[in-house]
Amino acid sequence: MSFARLLDDLAHERDRRERGRNLACLAEKIRVDGRAKSRAMRCLTAQAAEMIKSMRTDLAQTRAAQRRDAIDTLARINEKATAMAASGQLSAHEGALIDGLLHQAAMRVQAL
């Protein structure tokens, strides 16, 4: 074995060890970064779940409020139509049409 070849072998061995250390450092960095990213994703996912839960609650409350408003509006319309029918301002046919429309509207409100 020549001296030059011995030096080349030593240089290759040194480079191989350095690459090994670099790869080990890179693997550790990826592992640590992966944990941090995983923690961040879990945090974001938890926050998104809380937001969705809050939005569902808000939506349910809004729907309930809309349902109550619609029921109140239908009740006022029914009272006014009943008063008009009692005073003779509506014919029987008009009263029947209003009753049918109020029934359809009530069914739609019930479906909300």
Tens place of pLDDT per residue across the chain (112 aa): 576 777 777 788 888 888 888 888 888 877 777 777 777 778 888 888 888 888 999 888 988 888 999 999 999 999 999 999 899 998 889 889 999 999 999 898 888 7
> Is the pTM for the entire model greater than 0.85?
no
CB 59 within 8 A of CB 97: no
Q: What angle (nearest 5°) sits at the alpha carbon of residue 29, between those of residues 25 and 35?
A: 150
Distance CA 14, CA 16 (A): 5
pLDDT at 75: 92
CA distance 27 to 33: 10
Domain boundaries, position 93: 3-111
Q: What is residue 25's predicted lDDT score, i.e. its pLDDT?
A: 82
Count of domains for the chain: 1
3-state secondary structure of 8: helix
3-state secondary structure of 1: coil
